[in-house]
Amino acid sequence: MAEAAALTKPEAESEELTDGFNLLIDAMKLNGIETIYGVPGIPITDFGRMAQAAGLRVLSFRHEQNAGYAAAIAGFLTKKPGICLTVSAPGFLNGLTALAHATTNCFPMILVSGSSEREVVDLQQGDYEEMDQLAVAKTMCKAAYRVLHAADIGIGLARAIRAAVSGRPGGVYLDLPAKLFGQVMNAEAGKKSLVKVIDAAPAQIPDPAAVKRALDVLKGAKKPLIILGKGAAYAQADDAIKALVEKSGVPFLPMSMAKGLLPDTHPQCAGAARSTVLKDSDVVVMIGARLNWLLSHGKGRTWGDAPKKFIQIDIEPKEMDSNVEIAAPVVGDIGSCVAALLDGPNGIGGGNWTKAPSDWMGAVSAKREENVAKMAPRLMNNNNPMDYHGALGVLRTIVKERPDAILVNEGANTLDLTRGVIDIYKPRKRLDVGTWGVMGIGMGQAIAATVETGHPVLAIEGDSAFGFSGMEVETICRYNLPVCIVVFNNDGIYRGTDTNKAGTDPATTVFVKGARYDKMMEAFGGVGVNATTPDELKRAVNAAMDSGKPTLINAVIDPAAGSESGRIGNLNPQSKLKKK
């Protein structure tokens, strides 16, 4: 027996082993994950180093929330789950806002966080950064999983990927206790435990009866309208959507992140006649858009008195009738649904289809041209200090000349006015705050946009919005990314002219007067420019886009320019008490 034991000992010593670190890296690579956004720290520091050494691109941020926004928009752009890696407890909580943002906006994202050991957490014994992270995360995302054994890493990541991208996409949480990373197992058994996800987001074909019902409703329309939401942009069914719009002859209204599916300058685009088409239309086709607050819930003064019938295309059945009755729900993935509406002799792409009434399109075009003409003089001013329209007028031209550049946009007035002024010409070239109107997405989205696509980024930021993620300019410089940031600096939130009538502290909405945000970029080796006129702004942005160097332009805006909460001041409750 002793002799037999002696013979097996060398065999055991020569057994090839692997561990949790390597299994997670191998599982990611097997499933085509190439980039990780995160912040290093206990217990995931070594994982980041090892992933980088194994060929994954690991980008380290200055704050987990910004890394999470990067991962979320990476999911939107690629249709694959963006990965955000955080440390336990506080780091996890910092990433949680981005996870909820991804879920609300239907962006596929996986938040991967290290955590304390279960036996300590469950007894509440006071471990380092102790928190039941899984329980917290479950309320904020589509699905949440915890992996306790190295042999389950493959299946855990596979479940997270499938949950993130299938059906209506969204955020998923993957909890990895610290002890998991160091677990050791046989390398061959570990390799066999990995799972390659097949057909993670299978097509969901609409019911033919639903398609026929939708076509019948649309045929009866006198003043039809198509609304394109960011779900339509995410679907990447660009050619089919273009064919549906053009063959139907129906005017279309793009929501902000759907701009560019067809150019904003397309003759059927009703973006500049938004109020008219919402109020006067009689049949509204919703493609990847929701009747939430951004569309006044489908009712009220925005929609006028004309009776409306809604056709809604969405992959989530529960979305139907969420605010108003949907006359023709079409449930399925957008690519399949749009293709079904086009197909067949009686479909929109068939020979029997009659285009929308020309008098309706004519009325929409006339209103659009009227509004564009009214706006044109405001965009041509060269005021010093600048107002929003003068600044946006030159940026509008720059974007037109560089249609492949990606526009990132956030703020209050900066967001609202940019959305209306700057035309987008190609799909998925405008990224912004999304459904919640979250401030702080700017730098994370800018970083991920150029990393995932290879295209340069122009980020137009309100000074308040920039403050949420401004330290990431160091990240932009560290990775030498082609990002040009324009900060619209009017010395405050909404305006820089408010006063505190009760004391010496600045008013709550006022920032440091004459702040120089461009100096931040210079501090980290990037290019900083202070621009006080539209002409200076134009020269600075063109130089930045030509050079590809990290650049921040401090665009000095009149402190009196702007309005309360941009165009949603009605959501800000006002005191009914009379001031004495």
Q: pLDDT tens digits for 145-199? A: 999 999 999 999 999 999 999 999 999 999 999 999 999 999 999 999 999 999 9
Do the Cβ atoms of 526 and 551 come closer than 8 Å?
yes
Q: For residue 35, what are the β-bridge partners?
A: 57
pLDDT, position 567: 64
Residues 121 and 165 in one domain: yes
* Core vs surface per residue 425-438: b (16+ CB within 10 A) or e: bbbbbbbbbbbebb
Q: Is residue 202 assigned to a domain?
A: no
The answer for residues whose C-beta is within 8 angstroms of residue 334's C-beta and 6 or more apart is 231, 232, 235, 237, 241, 287, 288, 313, 315
Sign of CA dihedral 558, 563, 564, 565: negative
Listed residue (166, 163, 255, 258) closest to 203, CA to CA: 166
pLDDT, position 295: 95
Residues 254 and 301 in one domain: yes
Q: How confident is the model at residue 51 (pLDDT cuts 50, 70, 90)?
A: very high
Q: Is residue 239 assigned to a domain?
A: yes
pLDDT, position 109: 98
Q: How confident is the model at residue 13 (pLDDT cuts 50, 70, 90)?
A: low
Question: What would the mean pLDDT of 302-312 be, rounded to a whole number?
Answer: 95
Do the Cβ atoms of 301 and 395 come closer than 8 Å?
no
H/E segment holding residue 521: helix 518-523
Listed residue (27, 20, 18) closest to 181, CA to CA: 20
Residues 417 and 291 in one domain: no
* Last residue within a domain, chosen from 310, 345, 367: 367
Q: What is the CATH number of the domain that holds 73?
A: 3.40.50.970
Listed residue (532, 577, 483, 494) closest to 70, CA to CA: 483
pLDDT, position 306: 86
pLDDT, position 117: 84
Q: Is residue 573 assigned to a domain?
A: no
According to DSSP H, which parts of 270-311 are helical?
274-280
Mean pLDDT of the chain: 94
* Last residue within a domain, chosen from 170, 193, 216: 193
Residue 386, CB half-sphere, CA atoms under 13 Å: how many? 29
φ and ψ at 331, to 5 degrees?
-100, 125
pLDDT digits (tens, 9 = 90+) for 71-119: 999 999 999 999 999 999 999 999 999 999 999 999 999 999 999 888 8
Question: How many Cβ atoms are within 10 Å of 368's Cβ, its own excluded?
Answer: 21
Residue 463 pLDDT exceeds 90: yes
Q: For residue 408, what are the β-bridge partners?
A: 431, 459
Q: Is residue 35 assigned to a domain?
A: yes
pLDDT, position 422: 98
Residue 280 pLDDT exceeds 80: yes
Residues 234 and 358 in one domain: yes
Q: Give the integer Cα–Cα distance in Å for 389 and 375.
A: 9
Q: Give the integer Cα–Cα distance in Å for 422 and 402.
A: 12
Q: What is the span of the domain harbouring residue 40? A: 16-193
pLDDT, position 569: 67
Listed residue (270, 528, 265) closest to 396, CA to CA: 265
Q: How confident is the model at residue 482 (pLDDT cuts 50, 70, 90)?
A: very high
pLDDT, position 121: 84
Residues 361 and 385 in one domain: no
Residues 189 and 212 in one domain: no
* Last residue within a domain, chosen from 367, 402, 425: 367
Q: Is residue 574 assigned to a domain?
A: no
Strands, E assignment, 129-206: 143-146, 171-177, 184-186
Listed residue (66, 73, 61) closest to 407, CA to CA: 73
Tokens of 54: 């194994």
Residues 253 and 318 in one domain: yes
Residues 55 and 89 in one domain: yes
Identify which has the larger pLDDT, 48 or 575: 48
Listed residue (77, 402, 397) closest to 257, CA to CA: 77
Q: What SS3 state is found at 456? A: coil
Identify which has the larger pLDDT, 579 or 275: 275
Do the Cβ atoms of 227 and 287 come closer than 8 Å?
yes
Residue 446 pLDDT exceeds 60: yes
Structural domain count, the chain = 3
Percentage above 70 pLDDT, the chain: 96
Q: Which of 345-349, 462-466, 576-580 has the lowest mean pLDDT?
A: 576-580
Q: What is the CATH number of the domain that holds 343?
A: 3.40.50.1220
| Residue recorded with tokens 């380290």 | 60
Q: Is residue 576 assigned to a domain?
A: no
Determine the straight-line distance between the first and last CA of the chain, rounded to whole angstroms.
98
Q: Is residue 200 assigned to a domain?
A: no
User: Measuring CA to CA, how many Å separate 108 from each of 9, 368, 498?
Assistant: 48, 35, 41
Tokens of 249: 């002859």
Q: Is residue 571 assigned to a domain?
A: no
pLDDT, position 580: 45
pLDDT digits (tens, 9 = 90+) for 211-228: 999 999 999 999 999 999
Strands, E assignment, 385-474: 406-410, 430-431, 457-462
Residues 107 and 245 in one domain: no
CA geometry: angle at 85 spanning 79 and 88, to 5°?
A: 140
Q: Give the integer Cα–Cα distance in Å for 517 and 554.
A: 6
Q: How confident is the model at residue 11 (pLDDT cuts 50, 70, 90)?
A: low
Residues 363 and 387 in one domain: no
Tell me the one-letter amino acid at 379. Answer: L
| Residue recorded with tokens 């036996």 | 119
Residues 329 and 462 in one domain: no
Q: Give the integer Cα–Cα distance in Å for 463 and 388.
A: 13
Q: Give the integer Cα–Cα distance in Å for 524 and 544.
A: 16
Q: Does the predicted model carry a pTM greater than 0.75?
A: yes
Q: What is the largest CA-CA distance in the chain?
A: 99
pLDDT, position 130: 81
- The region, left, alpha or beta by phi > 0 then psi within -120 to 50, assigned to residue 353 is beta
Do the Cβ atoms of 495 and 559 come closer than 8 Å?
yes
Residue 203 pLDDT exceeds 80: yes
Q: How confident is the model at residue 7 (pLDDT cuts 50, 70, 90)?
A: very low
Tokens of 205: 């074909």
Q: For residue 555, what are the β-bridge partners?
A: 488, 531
Do the Cβ atoms of 234 and 217 come closer than 8 Å?
no
H/E segment holding residue 314: strand 309-314
Listed residue (509, 531, 522) closest to 550, CA to CA: 522
Residues 218 and 114 in one domain: no
User: Measuring CA to CA, how many Å separate 212 from each of 42, 248, 479?
Assistant: 57, 15, 52
Give the total residue count for the chain.
580
pLDDT digits (tens, 9 = 90+) for 121-139: 888 888 888 899 999 999 9
Do the Cβ atoms of 117 and 177 come closer than 8 Å?
yes
pLDDT, position 1: 45
The answer for residues whose C-beta is within 8 angstroms of residue 88's C-beta and 6 or more apart is 42, 43, 113, 114, 115, 116, 128, 129, 131, 133, 178
Question: How many Cβ atoms are within 10 Å of 473's Cβ, its own excluded?
Answer: 26
